[in-house]
A = this chain, B = another copy of it.
């Protein structure tokens, strides 16, 4: 999680970017992207200019990917990494970030399941005739026909 800095770590056989990416379950482009935005430190290079990585980088990248899979934003991951790099710090900030994220996930779940209900109703009421009498089009045309007016208030950050 810290220090891929030593010039030639004897223990680890020095991985190329592709192998690193494979081990963490992402693509080389993503690794370079993370380096560019500062989630991964600049990797040491071969004479020819290619990046080489050790086990520490694998761990760090795995942490990042895992946190991202959990839905944490890159900025949140940045903070989490910062804290993981300082194990002596109290962990209430970590806790706060995770709790905040949990709340967001829960609110998304609520809205998403309200949405599911509306979609089910819509689909269930479609009798399969012509568009002019289609319940789906009708519901989309007229918000009044929704059961819950406020529950699906914008799906933009919900998936």
Contact = CB atoms under 8 A, between A and B. Distances in A.
Interface residues of A, number: 60
Interface stretch (A7-15, A45-53, A106-114): A106-114
Number of copies of this kind of chain in the complex: 2
Question: Could you tell me the dominant secondary structure of chain A's interface residues?
Answer: helix
Interface string A1-23: 10000000000000000000000
Max chain B Cβ within 10 angstroms of own Cβ: one of A59, A62, A70, A116: A70
Given A108-B159, A109-B116, A120-B102, A132 B90 contact: no
A1 B87 CA distance: 60
Interface in A125-148: 126, 128-134, 136-137, 140-141, 143
A155 B109 CA distance: 13
A106 B98 contact: no
Contacts of A153: 69
